[in-house]
């Protein structure tokens, strides 16, 4: 009975020490952060032309494929603009043909040695032909522009994803280059995790990571794909688009937080990915942890005692 009690006590002690070592590694050795969020590329969709909206083909939060119709703008003005540009092109072409025929006739006379037309008139005819050719090229460009504007009356999805913030309806006046909706790119979901700068030596590109979303119970697999090369700080007064993580206490010297990009290797089957969700991230380190070292030492000791 005493031997059994000693054995159980020893096992409980080993289990407690092992649990303590494991928790120490998870807390202090493995880089981890609760300051992480799901991020996705948000594509703002704006028409390139202005006009009345006559059709809205999508609804908010709907999934669309790249190239799907989003909404249409009244195309009547742009049909007329194309017809006008085509007529101007035909007129410019006719003028060019007339000038070219006259220039060719003068050039033929000069080639036969005729003096019926002065050289200055021949040169002027050639210049008029060049001018007519340039006018025709400009008219053809105007036709292409009118065709492009007519095509732009149908606004289509540039990427596949989900409609967000739909703010356009039939009867609205769409303004050129003003966004009417956004699309969350379905291929761009990732994790932006902010790690203390003191953890950077233990984080490497390609290192595996564990991702725990606050919204669900699943632990997802990921990997480090990028470490930010710069962050903004208080003394940096240059105009910049860098992220600016703020320390919690300004009167204490705290380690800066550096954005680390984590790619998903697996997706949750219970929680849809949403831009802005909160997550906890643990990055696996290549160096052996205290738990691994202790386990290896115990294993070597056990082998020697056998």
Tell me: pLDDT of 71 over 80.
yes
Determine the Cα–Cα distance for residues 256 and 197; give it in Å rounded to an integer: 6
What's the mean pLDDT in 205-233? 89
Sign of CA dihedral 214, 220, 221, 225: negative
Tell me: pLDDT of 8 over 80.
no
Residue 288 is encoded by which pair of tokens? 């052996």
| Average predicted confidence (pLDDT) for the chain | 83
Tell me: pLDDT of 19 over 70.
no
Confidence of residue 120 (pLDDT cuts 50, 70, 90): low
Confidence of residue 288 (pLDDT cuts 50, 70, 90): low
What's the mean pLDDT in 248-254? 53
Mean pLDDT check: name the lowest of 178-182, 237-241, 259-263. 237-241
Tell me: pLDDT of 208 over 80.
yes
Give the per-residue pLDDT at 16.
66
Confidence of residue 144 (pLDDT cuts 50, 70, 90): very high
Calculate what percentage of the chain has a pLDDT beyond 90: 52
> Starting at the edge strand that comes first in sequence, how are the strands of the sheet with 181-185 ordered?
42-45, 181-185, 161-164, 63-64
Higher pLDDT, 114 or 136: 136
Higher pLDDT, 7 or 168: 168
What is the DSSP-derived secondary structure letter of residue 253?
-
Give the per-residue pLDDT at 238.
58
Q: Where are the beta strands (DSSP E) in the chain?
A: 32-39, 42-45, 51-56, 63-64, 69-73, 154-156, 161-164, 173-174, 181-185, 190-196, 208-213, 219-227, 257-264, 278-283
Give the per-residue pLDDT at 197.
86
154-172 pLDDT per residue, tens: 999 999 999 998 989 999 9
Torsion of CA 254, 255, 256, 262, to 10 degrees: -140
């Amino acid at each position: 009975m005493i031997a059994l009690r000693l054995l159980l006590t020893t096992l409980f002690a080993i289990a407690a020490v092992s649990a303590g070592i494991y928790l120490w590694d998870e807390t202090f050795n493995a880089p981890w952060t609760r300051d992480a969020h799901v991020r996705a590329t948000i594509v703002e969709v704006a028409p390139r032309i202005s006009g009345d909206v006559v059709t809205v083909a999508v609804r908010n939060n709907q999934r669309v494929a790249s190239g799907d119709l989003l909404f249409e703008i009244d195309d009547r003005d742009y049909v007329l603009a194309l017809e006008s540009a085509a007529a101007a092109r035909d007129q410019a072409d006719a003028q060019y043909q007339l000038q070219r025929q006259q220039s060719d006739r003068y050039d033929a006379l000069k080639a036969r040695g005729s003096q019926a037309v002065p050289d200055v008139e021949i040169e002027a005819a050639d210049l008029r032909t060049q001018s007519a050719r340039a006018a025709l090229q400009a008219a053809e460009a105007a036709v292409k522009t009118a065709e492009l504007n007519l095509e732009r009356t149908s606004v289509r999805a540039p990427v596949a994803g989900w409609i967000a913030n739909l703010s356009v309806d039939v009867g609205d006046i769409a303004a050129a280059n003003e966004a009417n909706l956004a699309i969350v790119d379905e291929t761009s979901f990732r994790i932006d995790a902010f790690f203390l700068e003191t953890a950077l030596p233990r984080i490497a590109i390609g290192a595996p990571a564990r991702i725990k979303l606050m919204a669900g119970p699943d632990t997802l697999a990921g990997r480090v794909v990028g470490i930010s090369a710069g962050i903004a700080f208080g003394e940096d007064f240059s105009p910049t688009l860098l992220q600016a993580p703020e320390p919690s206490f300004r009167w204490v010297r705290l380690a800066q937080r550096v954005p680390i990009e984590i790619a998903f290797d697996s997706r949750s089957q219970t929680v849809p990915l949403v831009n802005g969700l909160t997550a906890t991230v643990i990055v696996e380190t290549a160096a052996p942890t205290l738990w691994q070292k202790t386990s290896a030492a115990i294993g070597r000791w056990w082998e020697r005692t056998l």
